[in-house]
Amino acid sequence: MVVNVSSAAPSGSAPSAAPSTDLLPANMPPAHMLPAHMLPAHMLPAHNGAYWCWRGYRVHYVRSAQADQSDLIATKPPRPPLLLIHGFGASTDHWRKNIADLQTDFDVYALDLIGFGRSSKPSSGYSPELWRDQIVAFITQIIQRPAVVAGNSIGGYSSLYAGATCPDAVVGVCLLNGVGAFSEQQTSAEPNPFQKAIGDLIKTVVLSPLPSWLIFQFVRKRSYIRKTLEQVYVNKAEVTDQLIEDIYRPATDPEAPAAFAALFKAERGEYVDTLLAQMSCPLLLIWGDGDPWMDTYARGALFQQHYQAIEEHHINAGHCPHDDAPAIVDQLLRNWVMNTVIPEQPSASQWVPLA
């Protein structure tokens, strides 16, 4: 069910040693239990948004506006819910257009990963396992049914990680310009001691508190955000003032500068081909071929080399195809779920709650 910020949210797993980072007075309830008028501006939930407490962190998510999704579950065969995962620097807001369209056919959720959007932004502890665990726990505790997970960029890698390692929770994975290294892309040659020392020095200096803070102050400027988006979007009309604000707003969170530095220290995670070797569910690849940051055809060929159950499409869009060309992406995703994912799923009478 949807939990509003004015009511108690379902509790997640027992909080770990990781502190809550809501920056609220110690004697106040956690963010997910506060009424909206008591929340700082950077924590106000999105339309149809709510908070969930997981491992002591606040986690923001949105759910489609359809009040009763029981008819979608009761269809024969039943339609799985969709869970949308944003890319680096983005949030649930980046899926606004897609949710508005896809909610007519599916129960749609979008999630802010830890470190992004309106979710907590701790100053350490980031890893692919953290985001994988967050996605799977959300499916298990909030959605409570196996879901199709679709992710953009780093959200795509997190979706793949969840689908490969937690098959009971994920019935299909869609990658939209997903990132992640393949083992054959890595050089076997070790850097010489001098190169390693210089690399370590640069990393230490750049990611130390003051330099990383200065870099963050620059990259969070609205002018820089707009310039970057115009470089990675094919359809420039989609780079709107609202999109700029959607990306700028989380950067005003007092936790954001330290989280920014910590995110670059996160572990690399498993190779993509290692994950594909473990996966068994259908995989949809949607590539925005105008992405200046990757060779989409070369990456697609690597996926095809390591996995069989793939449907692949190349479209006229950039690094964020779901927002750059939303109508095309929504139709591709809808058709794939209806024609590929659903036929492999059990009938409505066989659904078993995950929680």
**Closest CA relative to residue 330, chosen from 313, 346, 342, 343:** 313
Q: Express each pLDDT in 172-222 by its tens digit.
A: 999 999 999 999 887 666 666 766 666 666 666 666 777 777 888 889 999
> Tokens 């979706």 map to which residue?
159
Instruction: Render each residue's pLDDT in the chain as its tens digit; 355 residues.
Output: 333 333 333 333 333 334 333 444 444 445 545 555 456 656 667 677 899 999 999 999 999 976 455 666 666 678 999 999 999 999 999 999 999 999 999 999 999 999 999 999 999 999 999 999 999 999 999 999 999 999 999 999 999 999 999 999 999 999 999 999 999 887 666 666 766 666 666 666 666 777 777 888 889 999 999 999 999 999 999 999 999 999 999 999 999 999 998 888 888 899 999 999 999 999 999 999 999 999 999 999 999 999 999 999 999 999 999 999 999 999 999 999 999 999 877 654 455 566 5
Distance set, CA 2 to CA 28, 163, 282 (Å): 23, 24, 28
Strands lying side by side in the sheet with 108-111: 49-54, 57-63, 108-111, 82-85, 147-152, 170-176, 283-288, 310-315
CATH number for the domain whose boundaries are 32-181+266-348: 3.40.50.1820
